[in-house]
Amino acid sequence: MNTRSQRELQNLLDVLLDGPGGDEEMLRLEAALGSDADARRHYIEHMTLVFDLEQEVDTSSPGEPAKRPEKLVLRAILLALAVSVLAALTVSAGLLVLKNEPPVAAVAAVVGNQAVDDSPHAAMPPLARLAEVDRARFSDEAGPVDDHLNVGAYRLAEGAISLVFRNGVELDLESPADFEILSELKVVLHRGRVRAYVPDSGKGFTVVVPEMEIEDLGTEFGVFVGEDRATELHVFSGEVKLHRDGRAPESFEEGLAAVWRDGVRHDLQQPDDSAFLTRSAIGYRRWLSFSRRLRADPSNVLYFDFERDPAAPNRLKNLGGAGPAADGVARGAFRVSGRWAEKGALLFERDDDIAEMTVPGEFDAFTLSTWVLATRLDAIQAICNTRGWEPAAHHWHLRRDGSLQCSVRDGYSLRSPEGSASAGVWMQLAAVVDRTAGTANYYVNGVNVLSCEWLSDSPMRFGPCFLGGWDASRTRPPRGFRGRIDELALFNRAFSAREIAEIHEAGSGFDSSAFVAARE
């Protein structure tokens, strides 16, 4: 099999396994396998891989214990049980019984997949999952199990959540809300505020409210059912069909909004998009609440959220409570939107676009965390560096091969593996350097990409620092960062790997597909 044939075979497998492949691709695959032993070998190896992945993919992180339940042993025990049942039936009723349906079917049911529920994931996927949660509390008797929701009644007492159904339907709910899931195509809303996003795969999804049934025809709409059971409906895009007792279905189109109270419709001027939380907005709220906790951490010495400040457009207000670090200033870099449309960030476009700040004092340990989106990876780029290169200074660069270059003067200078970082996607980068413990750890999106041991007699110092560039006034090649930075936090203690992962998790509730053009 030549390289081209191998590529074609792989493309066929990709499109048949996960894409829209159908009969035509299946026939081509069969033709390729029938005539080429190498193709068959590749195919068999690949299907073996798929089989192994279907058994269990270990999603634990390095360092955590692997989770691999002994499925086969349990199945063998069940098989032994089945054989005993079979033998007993055979003994008691003679061989004729063995040929009849009931005992064979019973064995099949015990040995077959449906009955051997030997892993937490062996059952069908849940009807819906919690995809975003902000300080949510369900009432004790009516909440999801883990993050799974199936048929049943739920009461969201506090906070906000986003659910994604198996068919791709997304519901964003704000408390207080009482709702019932009847199926992946039908939900009853007794009380509360919900935004529904229904893709083509969920057409026909229906929200039942006191006044009517709202059938979706592929759209986005908001429904509010108040304590008085009046129903408000806002259609943001597409069209819904209203089913009311004894009446013909009624179309309700994009741009319309109305309230039904005691069976009477009162039209509203226009839909109010801001009255219904989106999943991104719930993710933003979750981040904001976490961010306030970070700023209040006694070890926080510097915190920039990069929000816009019309009164002082270039000032970077230090929101950190504990440290003596002053505000920073943006020079060239300017305010744009960040991970969320409503959140600010700094954009660095040219070599001399930088931000400056001063961090006084000495550090035996520090944690530096930031969210960045690099728009290109074609040169070495400074993330956050001390202005000079004095003893015990810390420098942090992104290289063109996607590695992080991390250095403490007279301590270490190391690079993470190639491809640790990517262009076109938001990444959380963190540096955790501890002189007293003699360790340094660097993370991308909560994953440790570089770890080292080192020794130093003197504490670390920052002093004047650059963000997004390094000493462009020198004649050496510029190290200007290209992209956006939307959060920067410095702490005077070493965070644990779990704390770093928490920062990443709390800041990940944004819509990454909004940046799709840059990534793909």
- 181 DSSP β-pair partners: 152, 187
Measure the CA–CA gap between 384 and 363, rounded to whole angstroms. Answer: 16
Residues of span 147-176 touching another protein by CB under 8 A: 164-168, 170
Measure the CA–CA gap between 472 and 68, rounded to whole angstroms. Answer: 52
Shortest Å, Cβ 384 to another protein = 23
CB nearer to another protein: pick between 55 and 237: 55
Asked if 69 interacts with another protein (CB under 8 A), we say: no
Contacting another protein (CB under 8 A), which of 279, 343, 479, 484? Answer: 279
Contacting another protein (CB under 8 A), which of 129, 190, 203, 493? Answer: 129
CB nearer to another protein: pick between 50 and 268: 50
Shortest Å, Cβ 170 to another protein = 6
With contacts defined by CB under 8 A, name the span among 18-26, 265-273, 369-377, 491-499 that binds another protein: 18-26
Determine how many CB atoms are found less than 10 A away from the CB of residue 394.
22
Strand-strand pairing, 354-363 and 412-415: unpaired
Shortest Å, Cβ 73 to another protein = 7
User: In this structure, which long-range contacts are made by residues 119-125, counting pairs with CB atoms below 8 Å and at least 24 apart in sequence?
Assistant: 119/56, 119/69, 119/71, 121/56, 125/166
Counting residues that bind another protein (by CB under 8 A) gives: 83
For the chain, give the longest Cα–Cα distance: 95
Shortest Å, Cβ 49 to another protein = 6
Q: What is the per-residue burial (b if ≥16 Cβ within 10 Å, else e) of 40-50?
A: eebbeeeeeee
What Cα–Cα distance (Å) separates residue 498 from each residue in 143, 318, 487, 495, 504? 27, 25, 19, 8, 10
Contacting another protein (CB under 8 A), which of 3, 101, 102, 125? Answer: 125
Asked if 94 interacts with another protein (CB under 8 A), we say: yes
Contacting another protein (CB under 8 A), which of 1, 8, 28, 33? Answer: 33
Indicate the residue type of 465. Answer: C
Asked if 54 interacts with another protein (CB under 8 A), we say: yes
Asked if 49 interacts with another protein (CB under 8 A), we say: yes
What Cα–Cα distance (Å) separates residue 41 from each residue in 1, 37, 46, 224, 333? 10, 6, 9, 58, 55
CB nearer to another protein: pick between 167 and 456: 167
Shortest Å, Cβ 55 to another protein = 7
Contacting another protein (CB under 8 A), which of 2, 4, 53, 262? Answer: 53
Residues of span 356-385 touching another protein by CB under 8 A: none
With contacts defined by CB under 8 A, name the span among 149-157, 222-230, 240-248, 440-448 that binds another protein: 440-448
Measure the CA–CA gap between 490 and 369, rounded to whole angstroms. Answer: 7
CB nearer to another protein: pick between 414 and 518: 518
- C-alpha torsion angle, residues 27, 31, 37, 42 (rounded to 10): -30
Indicate the residue type of 433. Answer: V
Residues of span 280-319 touching another protein by CB under 8 A: none
Asked if 447 interacts with another protein (CB under 8 A), we say: yes
Q: Phi and psi at residue 41, in whole multiples of 5°?
A: -60, -45
CB nearer to another protein: pick between 180 and 511: 511
Structure tokens at 407: 């250095």
With contacts defined by CB under 8 A, name the span among 267-275, 296-304, 370-378, 507-515 that binds another protein: 507-515
- 430 DSSP β-pair partners: 369, 443
Asked if 79 interacts with another protein (CB under 8 A), we say: yes
With contacts defined by CB under 8 A, name the span among 76-84, 232-240, 362-370, 486-494 that binds another protein: 76-84
Residues of span 177-216 touching another protein by CB under 8 A: 199, 201
CB nearer to another protein: pick between 187 and 346: 187
Residues of span 95-124 touching another protein by CB under 8 A: 95, 98, 104, 107-108, 111-113, 121, 124
**Burial class of residue 63 in the structure, from the number of CB atoms within 10 Å of its CB (0-12 exposed, 13-18 middle, 19+ buried):** exposed
Asked if 55 interacts with another protein (CB under 8 A), we say: yes
Strand-strand pairing, 365-374 and 381-382: unpaired
